[in-house]
Amino acid sequence: MHEFSMVSQLVEKVVEEARKRGAKRVVEVELEVGQLSFLNPEQMLFAYRILTKGTILEKSRLTIRTVEAHVRCRLCGFDGKPEYADDASYHVSAPLFLCPNCGGPVEVLVGTGCIIKRVRLEV
């Protein structure tokens, strides 16, 4: 469950920044989470509720926007969404990192990160 670790780091960073700015409390934290980060938004929300107790973030809202993956083929130039394989052994749909047009290798352009986009503070 790497969501717990990721949210723990998020809370630390937001608390640090809120203190620097003399905030009374954090109202909202907005995240962009890449589709290929394999972070589960429900598990992140659960971890957030636990990890913010007793902090300046305790009654804040966590908003998560999923960013779709985007790839480019190094051989034919295909530019778009990756295809997904539905294989029961993955327990989820897993991305194929091959071009849907030519089968060549693709470069992931967007969709792997977890970015704090905005923090609303009460000062």
Which numeric CATH code is attached to 2-67+112-122? 3.30.2320.50
pLDDT of residue 104: 87
The type of residue at 14 is V
Q: List the binding residues for Ni(2+).
A: 2
Residue 91 Rama label (left phi>0; alpha psi -120 to 50; beta): left
Binding residues for Zn(2+): 73, 76, 99, 102
Residue-wise pLDDT for 39-90, tens only, equals: 999 999 999 999 999 999 999 999 999 999 999 999 999 999 887 665 555 5
Per-domain boundaries in the chain:
2-67+112-122, 70-108
Residue 52 near residue 11, CB atoms below 8 Å:
yes
Which segments within 21-83 are labelled E, that is strand? 25-34, 61-67, 70-73, 79-80
User: pLDDT (tens digit, 9 = 90+) per residue, 95-120?
Assistant: 667 888 888 888 999 999 999 999 99
Annotated binding site: 2, 73, 76, 99, 102
Biggest CA pair distance of the chain:
55
Residue 82's Cβ-side half-sphere holds a number of Cα atoms within 13 Å equal to 23
pLDDT at 33 over 80: yes
Q: Is the dihedral of CA 45, 2, 85, 74 positive or negative?
A: positive
Mean pLDDT within 26-46: 95
Count of beta carbons in the 10 Å neighbourhood of residue 23:
19
